[in-house]
A and B are shown apart, each in its own frame.
Chain A
Amino acid sequence: MDFSETAERISRKMVQKGQDASAIDRKKIETKLKRLVEEFGVQPSEAERSVTNELAKELNIPVAGTGGSAGGTGAREEKPVAAMAPGDWVTFEGKVVSLLSPPSPAIAQSGIIADTTGAIRFVVWAKANAPKMSEGGWYRIESAVVDEFKGIPNLKVHSGTTIKPVLEDRALSPAVIRVSDLKPGIGSVRAKVLQEWEPSHDRMLQSGVLGDESGTIKFVIWKEAGKEKLEVGSVYTIWYASVDEFNGRLSLNLSTATAMKEDGDIAVSGGDVEARGVFVHIAPGSGLIKRCPVEGCNRALSRQNYCPVHEIQPKFVYDLRIKGWLDDGKRTYNTLLQRDAVEALTGITLDAAIQIAENNPLGMDEVFLQMRDKVLGRYVLCRGREIDNRLLARSCEWMKMENGEHAALLNRAGGAA
């Protein structure tokens, strides 16, 4: 078998990556290929791949991920974004639709690049010495590598990649898909913002839930220049959001995205559940709480009236809530009751709770204890929406005895004996 052609191809690839042709020993490549194929029975395509990788490592060139097909054969071939798979060497023209601040000094630029077929995350290594790309610009990228990071395809621009600006500005709008069709990677949706949660991190600008007719998904926006919060209840068309997966659940990172507010409304699909069971645990932070008065913040304050974002807020606003586990004997629901549901269930109004807190040595703890003793271990029926394994109860009521059930159970127990 003749390996000179394959060896030639490999060395050409290395030259393409900016290596000096004289530094590459074609004979050595041939020997290695021959050894792998003839001595070790390796498939020729696999041998080519492994020799390419070995050599690239030696010469310090980024290589394709191990999951890919025969690396490098497609380097010259034009490939649309939608067809890119980990392990591919690709050349294409695309638009930088989003730039992020690089997470590490080893990375010069990162963001999202798209063509008419789709979008992909990209990283430009600092070592690549590539020209800076600007957001909104079109570029021709030659010989970049697609690999996988956290299960999501990612385009790597390395020292062998050439980037040339494309001067004409072309129109580009992504295909908007349904929320339930989102997959890890990049996605564009048209959805309504349903809820906003307390940010769990200093760098977090906003997090919450959005949804369309097909389903709901958690979203997060990190603090970055030019990023604005979304309005709860409004509909947005969101282009190029990053879809991440954690513990089998998807979430949308809108830091990469462009969100355009729209008129109109969407009927968001179900998620409605009805749970009958018992509160088996009432979590700290239930009862009477203080919230940050800053417009649009509404975070729960600590005992010292400290808001994680707006610091000390002496002019807090009181609120009621119950966080706890509702258990039906088969599964437990992490449940959150808002003020209305708390008042209806406990019979303690917000005003009454404030009175209790002000006239009692235990203060707000007394409200927690009174509510706990009223709610814990009692049968309730909660209706609400289940999002992200949490039941957000719209209404809650005490369960009552139902005559028919007793008779039916007696029959069941006695009948089959």
Chain B
Amino acid sequence: MSGGGAGQQGGRRDSGSFEREPARRIFASELRECRYQFREGDDEKSPTFVLLPTGERCNRVFVVGTLTEKQRQGDQNIFYRGRVVDPTGTFFVMAGSYQPEAMQQLARIETPAFVAVIGKPSLYQTPDGAYLVSVRVESITIVDKETRELWILDAAKATLDRLDAAAGGASPDAVKAKEQYATLDPAVFRKMTYDALAQVKI
């Protein structure tokens, strides 16, 4: 898939059938660096992607980490914010009234806890110009420590696969990533991956 380029990753919508966007495995430090968001096609329902610095589009993420904080916000429109920590950094997650199921799940979980989060990343810019990537939760469940460790391995493998594919091939997404993230050195992400793996004790 990594070599398959945009056509394959964008799903098989061109032939009329629906293919669900896969949930990417990505570390917090990489997701935090995302600055480029785009849309495939002009259709109302066409998906929005953030472009990962390692050169792949991403419409959905699967992350496992520790829910360290959660906060209820809003009066009329209640929503929950949370922080999920992985070995490399923090994911900002949120669930609002458009994700009632996810919000109920998040409301019930007591911090701290290992959680598995499936959600959609989106990119915001604050008034002072800083970028913020948050994950709109589709579902969040409590998991065990082993799942967290399996995820670190899984995310490490996915990150290395992306780095290798971007270094070797020239898929349209990898090329675009090199343009958009010209100042980011891929070696940083390799180092990040190594550090994350080193935290897993077997």
A residues adjacent to B (C-beta < 8 A): 247-248, 278, 280-281, 325, 327-332, 334, 372-373, 376-379, 389, 399-401, 403, 405-406, 409-410, 412-414, 416-417
Question: Would A331 and B22 count as touching, CB distance under 8 A?
Answer: yes
- Indicate if B194 sits at the interface (CB-CB under 8 A): yes
Question: Would A376 and B187 count as touching, CB distance under 8 A?
Answer: no
Given the complex of chains A and B, what is the CA–CA distance between A417 and B115 in angstroms? 31
Which of B23, B115, B153, B194 interacts with A327 by CB under 8 Å?
B23
Question: Would A417 and B191 count as touching, CB distance under 8 A?
Answer: yes
Which of A332, A376, A405, A406 interacts with B22 by CB under 8 Å?
A332
Which chain A residues border B143 with CB–CB below 8 Å? 377-378
Chain B residue at minimum C-beta to C-beta distance from A332: B20
- Indicate if B136 sits at the interface (CB-CB under 8 A): no
Given the complex of chains A and B, what is the CA–CA distance between A406 and B160 in angstroms? 13
Question: Would A278 and B23 count as touching, CB distance under 8 A?
Answer: yes
- Indicate if B117 sits at the interface (CB-CB under 8 A): yes
Given the complex of chains A and B, what is the CA–CA distance between A329 and B116 in angstroms? 14
- Indicate if B64 sits at the interface (CB-CB under 8 A): yes
28 example contacts (A-B, Cβ-Cβ < 8 A) are as follows: A247-B16, A247-B17, A278-B62, A280-B23, A280-B139, A281-B138, A281-B139, A327-B23, A329-B158, A332-B20, A332-B21, A376-B141, A377-B62, A379-B147, A379-B150, A389-B17, A399-B150, A401-B146, A401-B149, A401-B150, A405-B153, A409-B156, A409-B157, A409-B160, A413-B194, A414-B194, A417-B187, A417-B191
Given the complex of chains A and B, what is the CA–CA distance between A248 and B12 in angstroms? 11
Given the complex of chains A and B, what is the CA–CA distance between A281 and B99 in angstroms? 13
Beta-carbon contacts of B41-76 to A below 8 Å, as 1s and 0s? 000000000000000000010101000000000000
Given the complex of chains A and B, what is the CA–CA distance between A37 and B20 in angstroms? 54
Chain A residue at minimum C-beta to C-beta distance from B21: A332
Which chain B residues border A327 with CB–CB below 8 Å? 20, 22-23, 62
Q: A247-B17, A329-B24 are in contact. Are A377 and B154 (CB under 8 A)?
A: no
Given the complex of chains A and B, what is the CA–CA distance between A247 and B160 in angstroms? 35
- Indicate if B183 sits at the interface (CB-CB under 8 A): no
Which chain B residues border A399 with CB–CB below 8 Å? 150
Which chain A residues border B64 with CB–CB below 8 Å? 377
- Indicate if B1 sits at the interface (CB-CB under 8 A): yes
Question: Would A406 and B1 count as touching, CB distance under 8 A?
Answer: no
Distance in Å from the Cβ of B160 to the closest Cβ of chain A?
Answer: 5
- Indicate if B134 sits at the interface (CB-CB under 8 A): no
Question: Would B197 and A406 count as touching, CB distance under 8 A?
Answer: yes
Chain A residue at minimum C-beta to C-beta distance from B158: A329
Q: A248-B17, A325-B20, A331-B1 are in contact. Are A376 and B156 (CB under 8 A)?
A: no
Question: Would B139 and A247 count as touching, CB distance under 8 A?
Answer: no
Distance in Å from the Cβ of A369 to the closest Cβ of chain B?
Answer: 10
Which chain B residues border A377 with CB–CB below 8 Å? 62, 64, 115-118, 139-141, 143, 147
Beta-carbon contacts of B2-18 to A below 8 Å, as 1s and 0s? 00000000000001110
Question: Would B22 and A413 count as touching, CB distance under 8 A?
Answer: no
Given the complex of chains A and B, what is the CA–CA distance between A378 and B141 in angstroms? 9
Which chain B residues border A416 with CB–CB below 8 Å? 190
Beta-carbon contacts of B133-174 to A below 8 Å, as 1s and 0s? 000001111110011011101101110100000000000000
